[in-house]
Amino acid sequence: MAPAPSSTHSAITLNINGEKHTLTVDHRTTLLDALRERLDLTGTKKGCDQGQCGACTVLLDGRRAVSCLHLAVAAEGREITTIEGIAEGERLHPVQQAFLDFDGYQCGYCTPGQICSAIAVIEEHAAGWPSAVTDDVRPEAGPPPLTADEIRERMSGNLCRCGAYVSIVQAVARAATVQAETGEATEAVA
């Protein structure tokens, strides 16, 4: 049973991977700690706990967010997708499959955050969002080619201490190609 709300606590309902979870949290509780410590969704990893490594990346309303810097109370009413909500049953998400096919992981610790970021990167690119390395940022230019440089820049907020970057770039490129060829959306199935 959750403790009663006080002036420093609130009862909140989080919509995570298509399921509603009601809990009472201290106003200072991060989304990461609510996911891991309160809801046992441990796929999202705690790396630096300072928003610098990307290991805790989740999708909030389809956009990537580092959950260690996002307060749980601020996530109420938003669609939260964690790595546990990416696959559709036994069918892996195209990004997950590409990470397997190209060995886009080594120890695997950063992989959940990398996958959530990659899903958002592909969507951002398809929507025509420029990056710091995009040559022509005019909206009428459309999405730039999704080159290795584009992928590296767009994924730069996610660190891999094992150094699997070459495979990660290949996996993101493959997943983007699969989406373009099949018309299959890469957004998470919650």
- What's the Cα-to-Cα distance from 42 to each of 69, 83, 100, 122, 185, rounded to whole Å? 17, 9, 20, 25, 26
| pTM score above 0.85 | yes
Contact between 167 and 111 (Cβ < 8 Å): no
Beta-sheet strands, E only, within 27-181: 57-60, 63-66, 79-81
State the pLDDT at residue 58.
Answer: 98
Can you tell me whether residue 180 is helix, strand or coil? helix
Interval 25-77: pLDDT, tens: 999 999 999 999 999 999 999 999 999 999 999 999 999 999 999 999 999 99
Q: How far apart are CA 14 and CA 12, in angstroms?
A: 6
What distance lies between CA 118 and its chain's CA centroid?
Answer: 7
User: Per DSSP, what are the bridge partners of residue 59?
Assistant: 64, 81
Q: How far apart are CA 48 and CA 64, in angstroms?
A: 17
State the pLDDT at residue 181.
Answer: 85
Beta-sheet strands, E only, within the chain: 9-16, 19-26, 57-60, 63-66, 79-81
Q: Which residues contact 86 (CB under 8 A, 6 or more apart)?
A: 93, 95, 96, 115, 116, 119, 188, 189
Mean pLDDT for 112-133 is 95
